[in-house]
Amino acid sequence: MRRYFRFCVLLIIGLLAAGCMLPAQVQPAGGPVVQGSTAAPTEPAPTDTPVSVGIVEVPAETPTDTPLPPVETATSLPPVASTPAPSATPTVAPTTAPPATPTPAPTAPPTPAATKTPYPTGIFVASHRGFSDGSNYVVVGEVLNTSGVAVYGVKVITNFYDSGGKLVAAGQTLTSLAMTEPEVGNPFKLKVENLASAVDRYELTVTWEDVSLIEFRYLTVVEGAVGQVEVTGQIRNEQESVLTSIVVAVTFYDAAGGVVDTADIFLGGQTLAPGASMPFAIPLGGGDRVYDHFWIEAQGNLNLF
């Protein structure tokens, strides 16, 4: 046992002595570090000296040139094809513009003529006027028939009121002509005495008869003239029968067709044979009368006996 133990000790000592004879490895000194490219690594050539991938350590004793960064290779551009210059477009000589046509100045549209309000259908007062004549109050007007058939005995009833709305008077009158034919005006005049200062307004009502036992015919007004105190003229019977109870009436109008005044005369028991003529004279009331035009009409009864 002692021999075996001794042999082991000697072997260990021998091995340790042999290890001390190996040369020590040289530790490389720090050097510059070169970064690797992002390109895929190239397979290194076989060498006896091991090289670490990505980092190469160079001993300080061996100077090495710092590699220059890679020179970028200029990529040659393809030759630019020359674009042929466009051919010059011939310049057209300017054409003389035609002379401007003068625009006519705008003209104002013509003012439409005033139109009357259409009349209703029936018998009614188409126009009237009230005025003071001294101490009296007078209402004049014209009844119009748009019913399509003649009516008779038209009566105009008038109520007069003061400024407080109190009824102060009432009156009635017949139209000048007994028969009121369609579309032919029939004048009237009503006077109330001693009420000129009391009357503030009035109301008109019309009544009539649809039939008559007497037949009426119009006479032709041959001529007529207005004087200071009367209207004179001549009428003629162009009917086939004798006419009697003749009435001649005159109506004065303003420029708008409104009634200004009226007057009439009843030629009592005179008769007028067919084709015969006779004069007339209609007395006028006092005062100035301002009017634009007038209309004279005459009517008589058929003399059946």
**Higher-scoring residue by pLDDT: 73, 235:** 235
Structure tokens that stand for 276 in this block? 């015969």
Average pLDDT over residues 271-275: 96
Do the beta carbons of residue 148 and residue 203 sit within 8 Å? no
Considering the domain 123-209 in this protein, what is its CATH number? 2.60.40.10
pLDDT score of 3 more than 90: no
DSSP string, 210-262: S--SS-EEEEEEEEEEE-SSEEEEEEE--SSS-EEEEEEEEEEE-TTS-EEEE
How much is the pLDDT for 59?
39
How much is the pLDDT for 33?
36
Q: How far apart are CA 283 and CA 260, in angstroms?
A: 16
CATH topology of domain 216-302: Immunoglobulin-like (2.60.40)
Average pLDDT over residues 122-138: 94
Q: How far apart are CA 235 and CA 258, in angstroms?
A: 25
Angle of CA points 253, 128, 190, to nearest 5°: 105
| C-alpha separations of 265 from 48, 158, 245 in Å | 163, 22, 11
Average pLDDT over residues 187-211: 95
Per-residue pLDDT tens for 17-49?
A: 444 444 444 344 333 333 333 334 444 444 443
Task: Name the pairing type of β-strands 136-145 and 186-192.
Answer: antiparallel
How much is the pLDDT for 268?
82
Nearest to 217 by CA among 272, 299, 152: 299
pLDDT score of 172 more than 70: yes
Choose the weakest-confidence range: 60-64, 117-121, 193-197.
60-64
How much is the pLDDT for 285?
81
Q: Say what percent of the chain tops pLDDT 90.
A: 55
pLDDT score of 210 more than 60: yes
* Residue given tokens 């009439």 in the structure block: 264
**Higher-scoring residue by pLDDT: 141, 26:** 141
Tell me the β-bridge partners of 218: 299
Do the beta carbons of residue 137 and residue 159 sit within 8 Å? no
Amino acid (1-letter code) at residue 202: Y
**Higher-scoring residue by pLDDT: 123, 91:** 123
pLDDT score of 208 more than 70: yes
Tell me the β-bridge partners of 166: none
**Higher-scoring residue by pLDDT: 102, 222:** 222
| C-alpha separations of 61 from 31, 177, 209 in Å | 10, 156, 154
- What does pLDDT average to over the chain? 75
Residue 31's CB is within 10 A of a number of other CB atoms, namely: 14
Is it true that 123-209 and 216-302 share their CATH fold?
yes
How much is the pLDDT for 11?
64
How much is the pLDDT for 1?
54
Per-residue pLDDT tens for 219-269?
A: 999 999 999 899 999 999 999 999 999 999 999 999 999 999 999 999 988
Domain positions in the chain = 123-209, 216-302
